[in-house]
Structure 1
């Protein structure tokens, strides 16, 4: 498999994890369990790294995702604003050149970074 797709990589990691669970549940020998875990680590290391989840795989939660940062291929870092329940697109604030613009992008194109922003009132 020279160029596996993102989904094939995820499926391979999930299949390996399921297989390890089944094999571990069928033995009570501690030495055998250690051996199984060692083999599982070696097989996991041979797989391509598991890709990070995209917003298509994550259920939108306003408290968690409103004003959260995500990576997007075309716009680099964007700030997520809302998700359209009908189309599944996510409205984001993106910096395009010197202009900040609100765009609707496909959820599958967004990978959350874990950063969040908050609005604060400034007294002048």
Structure 2
């Protein structure tokens, strides 16, 4: 018998070769592989979403850090300005406090063992 006659008897003559791969039995035989591919796809998508969220959080934190740096610099310059002697004098005037023009007197203690009679 020739090959054509065998194919006709087996019923495979003229069939599309792709149909052989997408038969019910073939799909059931490879169901574990399909599930594995599906799990990989879900993990891949979840990983992409987590990476995007991490990048957004890092950008948000960077913006907050810059804003806090601006606030810090502003407050620091304000404190430096207010701690100048002229500003302290100006703030103390309404309370009746004034700077004494006489320098403070330094008191020196002598040790008792240093003196000899």
The bucket for the TM-score relative to the shorter chain is under 0.3
Greater relative contact order structure (CA < 8 Å, 6+ sep): 1
Q: Counting helix residues as a fraction of each chain, which structure ranks higher?
A: 2
Please state which structure has a larger fraction of its residues in strand.
1
What is the TM-score of this pair, normalised by structure 1? 0.20
